[in-house]
Amino acid sequence: MFELLTTKFENLFYKIRNKGKLSPNDLDDALREIKLALLEADVNFKVVKEFLENVKAKSIGENILESLTPYQHVVKIVNEEITRMLGSTSSGVIFASKGPTIIMTVGLQGTGKTSAVIKLANFLKNKFQKKVSIVAADVYRPAAVLQLEDMAKNINVDVYSENNSDPVSISVKGIALFKKSGSDVIIIDTAGRLHVDENMMNEIVNIRNKVSPHQIYLVLDAMTGQEAVNIASTFNQKVECDGIILTKLDSDTRGGAALSVYYMVKKPVKFVSNGEKIEDFDIFYPDRIASRILGMGDILTLVEKAEKVVSEKEARRIEKKIYKNELNFEDFIGQLRSIKKMGSLDKIFSMMPIANKSKIFKKVNLDDSYLSHIEAIINSMTVEERRKPHIINGNRKKRIARGSGSSVSEVNKLLVQFSKTKQMLKQFSGSKGKFNLPLGNL
């Protein structure tokens, strides 16, 4: 996400950085580039205007032209402004003080409400140990209820549904039932509707009036264009939303809608959904996204993901081995599996602070089957070979290649990559990082 914006800023600041000092014209050039980048990122044009005015005023106020480090200065100001536009703190999850928390999701057709409901349920269940249940209030789209029930089964969450009834009474009955059965969180999945459809909008107003949800989330497609602001403000006027769930962030969308909506409607993005898997869902951290826009990568998210799948003890053990240069294929495959648990390769890659990602992207197929392929080769090694890779000779290579359905040259490639990675990791070890990613072979 935000790919192009990041690249643009990277190039722009690279230009400025080489100059040393900034002239008034440089600042105007910079602002123009930022304007284009933001518009191409679907940031609402009104927001862009204000943003530029703020950056300019601040730049002049802080005497940026006199600064010996104008690059750092502009980055700082732009970063601050973007963070401010996104809401400066993460708003987190809010639970009702008494009784079950009732959450209602609303949004246009096709934004990913049903998937978001399932992911949210799973998130609250696993991260906060809540008993979650879902009310199926989409009676319009064919098979919508079936979809919800099918997905809910996978995460062991109960769904209340009814045939031939209206969404308002379904919601009322479902909530009464789940209150009795001791749910901590009850999520209402409503049908997709156009924000200009008076009748349909009144329906969610009625549901809200009857069941008084503690939280109402607007599900917004991250690929939405300039209309995002109108959509969000209309839903907000009707039912007073508490926040946004931003979906489909796994595409190459630049996601400017997120910036605009917070800025214009003053409703924070609470959660992001970024993949096909149920676990591809997280709390939204504005500061992290802002630094991602500026090409600093989203290292914090990455570290958290890594921490989730790698225990500290294991990480220490590996670190020691790296330090002593004793890393072998058994450790490697362990790490490989950890990486696979962290999500798809391209997603991990997108969070890393590497310049010109899109160019590298084109060269490397960040395909998860690549990992499986490597895993297959390592699996075809004997325990001894994994522990002492140096004993792998020509005959062993042939056997490993046959066993893993690959060629000798592929086995060779892995061996070379492995020893390079080992060297590289040794260089990195000793730094503070708890977890070193063996991604040098990419």
Residue 427's identity, in one-letter code, is Q
- The residue (of 86 and 108) whose beta carbon lies closer to other proteins is 108
Residue among 92, 124, 437 nearest 278 (CA): 124
The piece of 21-29, 122-130, 194-202, 331-339 that touches other proteins (CB under 8 A) is 194-202
Residue 119 contacts other proteins per CB under 8 A:
no
Query: Judging by beta carbons within 10 Å of its beta carbon (0-12, 13-18, 19+), is residue 370 exposed, middle or buried?
Result: middle
- The residue (of 112 and 213) whose beta carbon lies closer to other proteins is 112
- The residue (of 311 and 372) whose beta carbon lies closer to other proteins is 372
- Please list every residue from 278 through 337 that binds other proteins, using CB under 8 A: none
Q: Shortest Cβ distance from residue 117 to other proteins (Å)?
A: 12
Structural element, H or E, at residue 269 = strand 269-273
Judged by CB under 8 A, which of 57, 94, 176, 196 binds other proteins?
196
What would the DSSP string read from start to end of 281-315? EEE--HHHHHHHHTT---HHHHHHHHHHHS-HHHH
Q: Shortest Cβ distance from residue 218 to other proteins (Å)?
A: 14
Q: Shortest Cβ distance from residue 255 to other proteins (Å)?
A: 9
Residue among 29, 176, 30, 190 nearest 99 (CA): 176
- The residue (of 136 and 322) whose beta carbon lies closer to other proteins is 136
**Cα–Cα dist 9/74, whole Å:** 10
The residues pairing with 177 across neighbouring beta strands, listed in sequence order, are none
- Please list every residue from 150 through 169 that binds other proteins, using CB under 8 A: 150-151
- The residue (of 314 and 346) whose beta carbon lies closer to other proteins is 346
* DSSP-derived 3-state class of residue 136: strand
Are 229 and 260 spatial neighbours (Cβ–Cβ below 8 Å)?
A: yes
**Cα–Cα dist 297/299, whole Å:** 6
Judged by CB under 8 A, which of 23, 109, 212, 409 binds other proteins?
109
Residue 204 contacts other proteins per CB under 8 A:
no
Judged by CB under 8 A, which of 82, 223, 289, 306 binds other proteins?
223
In the numeric block, the tokens 């899109």 are attached to 358
- The residue (of 45 and 428) whose beta carbon lies closer to other proteins is 45
Residue 126 contacts other proteins per CB under 8 A:
no
The residues pairing with 269 across neighbouring beta strands, listed in sequence order, are 244
The residues pairing with 187 across neighbouring beta strands, listed in sequence order, are 103, 134
**Cα–Cα dist 392/182, whole Å:** 60
- The residue (of 344 and 436) whose beta carbon lies closer to other proteins is 344
Q: Shortest Cβ distance from residue 300 to other proteins (Å)?
A: 23
- The residue (of 258 and 310) whose beta carbon lies closer to other proteins is 258
Q: How many CB atoms lie within 10 A of CB 238?
A: 17
Are 440 and 421 spatial neighbours (Cβ–Cβ below 8 Å)?
A: yes
Judged by CB under 8 A, which of 29, 80, 227, 314 binds other proteins?
227
The piece of 82-90, 106-114, 171-179, 379-387 that touches other proteins (CB under 8 A) is 106-114
CA dihedral 220, 221, 226, 229 (to 10 degrees): 0
Rounded to an integer, what is the distance from CA 66 to the centroid of its chain? 38
**Cα–Cα dist 22/180, whole Å:** 66
- Please list every residue from 38 through 57 that binds other proteins, using CB under 8 A: 39-42, 44-45
The piece of 79-87, 137-145, 174-182, 282-290 that touches other proteins (CB under 8 A) is 137-145
Question: How many chain residues touch other proteins (CB under 8 A)?
Answer: 47
Residue 110 contacts other proteins per CB under 8 A:
yes
- The residue (of 1 and 239) whose beta carbon lies closer to other proteins is 1
Judged by CB under 8 A, which of 23, 28, 36, 99 binds other proteins?
36
Residue 360 contacts other proteins per CB under 8 A:
no
- Please list every residue from 229 through 288 that binds other proteins, using CB under 8 A: 230-231, 248, 250-254, 256-257
**Cα–Cα dist 230/238, whole Å:** 12
Cβ neighbors of 82 (< 8 A, separation 6 or more) are 51, 259, 290, 293, 294
Q: Shortest Cβ distance from residue 45 to other proteins (Å)?
A: 5
**Cα–Cα dist 120/148, whole Å:** 13
Binding site for other proteins (CB under 8 A): 36, 39-42, 44-45, 108-112, 141-144, 146-148, 150-151, 194-196, 221, 223-228, 230-231, 248, 250-254, 256-257, 346, 365-369
